[in-house]
Amino acid sequence: MLLHHRILHPRLLFPPFVSFSALPAGSLRSGHPLLLLASGRRNPVSLLARSHSLSTVAQLAVSTPLEVDAPILRQIADEEDGGPQVQIPFDKLFVPPGVDLAEAASMASGRVLRGSNIVLGPYARDAQVATAEFIKSSTKTEECPTDGLPEFALVGRSNVGKSSLLNSLVRRKRLALTSKKPGKTQCINHFRINDSWYLVDLPGYGYASAPQEARANWYEFTKNYFLNRESLVSVFLLIDASIPAKKIDLEYASWLGQNQIPMTLLFTKCDKRKKKKNGGKRPEENVEDFQKLIREYFKEAPPWIMTSSVTNQGREEILLHMAQLRNYWLKH
Ligand SMILES: Nc1nc2c(ncn2[C@@H]2O[C@H](COP(=O)(O)OP(=O)(O)OP(=O)(O)O)[C@@H](O)[C@H]2O)c(=O)[nH]1
Ligand SMILES: [Mg+2]
């Protein structure tokens, strides 16, 4: 199944995907923990969860030279943490299109977005949201806007926080309608940002209370949208980090991978930090677990960002990531 925009923009493809079924058990590379803290002093994932006070790109500058034999990029944690804390093995980083791998590895200008595995490249500009307006709701891909502006789709289980995240990104309380009741969003909703690109709010999947027919219909039209929407730069798959990984999320990630649809993982509700309850885990543990599980589907780590619509954690990082994907897409 070939997609036009992915042929036209091959470098936009995220790291090559390996289909779940194609991967024999035990064939995964070993020896590369998902997140590695070389000194072993502190849990890097918990630092990721806390280090979300990014306000400028400059704060992200990487300070420590990279050793050639042990390529690891560091993230700068909050100042009160006393310097760089988080290290991610080079092979678990997402290097955006347009960034020279050797350059990223040499650390001459390498920077990693806080609370993520994403290297910041030269295309990350115009990341601010000045205007945001609702354009239309569509029930079919063919009804979506035809102006060809690049777009990013937010998808995830019902109630994962898609509409809340969209509101957080555009700093509006009720641009996209949210609800405690799952199933609030039922169409493909286009929101135009700065008159130059779209954020797309999609219905959630896994909404058990919906009538069977409605569920099947949503599933089909979102699939059709993913496979046929030429201006779709990347899907942002939202995963609730306050609960353990769900099979349906793993299946969805696997489906996107198998269909070579560029995907970024956004871990939501990272503000919900209650102590272990009913066998539950902290967000950072759930994030780590989820990534361990998807390592079985993906040859390379997809980009991921930890977020919260309550604290706005990850807001700047998402916008910078979208900016660099978008600007590259526009140029190629
Ligand atoms: N604590 C916390 N709650 C959140 C966060 N994001 C969303 N919520 C809550 O989760 C519920 C669902 O949020 P929505 O944004 O409507 O979820 P959705 O994914 O758009 O849901 P559907 O449209 O039904 O698919 C609401 O009660 C939100 O207030 C978050 O980052 N932290
Ligand atoms: Mg919604």
C-alpha dist (Å) from residue 130 to 142, 193, 315, 322? 28, 7, 14, 15
In the block, tokens 């599933």 appear at: 219
Angstrom distance (rounded) from CA 304 to CA 286: 13
Angstrom distance (rounded) from CA 321 to CA 251: 24
Domain assignment present for 170 = yes
Among 154, 188, 242, 309, the mutation site with the greatest number of ligand 1 atoms within 8 A of its Cβ is 309
C-alpha dist (Å) from residue 71 to 38, 61, 90? 11, 17, 5
Angstrom distance (rounded) from CA 192 to CA 211: 31
C-alpha dist (Å) from residue 33 to 30, 161, 241? 8, 29, 19
C-alpha dist (Å) from residue 190 to 136, 170, 175, 233, 307? 5, 13, 11, 14, 22
Total domains present in the chain = 1
Q: Which residues surround ligand 2, an ion (CB under 5 A)?
A: 162-163, 184-185
Domain assignment present for 213 = yes
Among 163, 178, 215, 267, the mutation site with the greatest number of ligand 1 atoms within 8 A of its Cβ is 178
In this prediction, residue 194 carries a pLDDT of: 96
Angstrom distance (rounded) from CA 101 to CA 133: 37
Angstrom distance (rounded) from CA 315 to CA 325: 16
Residues 253/259, Cβ–Cβ less than 8 Å: no
**Counting atoms of ligand 1 from 1, which one is nearest the CA of 179?**
16
What stretch of H or E contains 213? helix 212-228
The boundaries of the domain holding residue 155 are: 4-24+127-331
Domain assignment present for 93 = no
Domain assignment present for 214 = yes
**Counting atoms of ligand 1 from 1, which one is nearest the CA of 201?**
20
Domain assignment present for 97 = no
pLDDT (tens digit per residue) in 264-299: 999 999 999 876 665 678 898 899 899 889 887 777
Domain assignment present for 89 = no
Give the domain CATH number at 17. 3.40.50.300
Domain assignment present for 304 = yes
Residues 114/58, Cβ–Cβ less than 8 Å: no
Mind listing the pLDDT tens digit of every residue in the chain (332 residues)?
333 333 333 333 333 332 222 222 322 222 222 222 222 222 232 223 223 222 222 222 232 322 322 333 444 333 334 333 456 777 888 989 888 777 777 654 468 899 999 999 889 989 999 999 999 999 889 999 999 999 999 999 988 998 899 999 998 877 776 666 655 566 889 999 999 999 998 888 876 566 666 666 667 778 889 999 999 999 999 999 999 999 999 999 998 988 889 999 999 999 998 766 656 788 988 998 998 898 877 777 899 999 999 999 999 999 999 999 999 999 98
Among 164, 215, 239, the mutation site with the greatest number of ligand 1 atoms within 8 A of its Cβ is 164
C-alpha dist (Å) from residue 120 to 86, 241, 305, 323? 16, 24, 13, 10
Domain assignment present for 112 = no
| Residues framing ligand 1 (Cβ under 6 A) | 156, 158-164, 178-180, 182-185, 203-204, 268-269, 271-272, 308-310
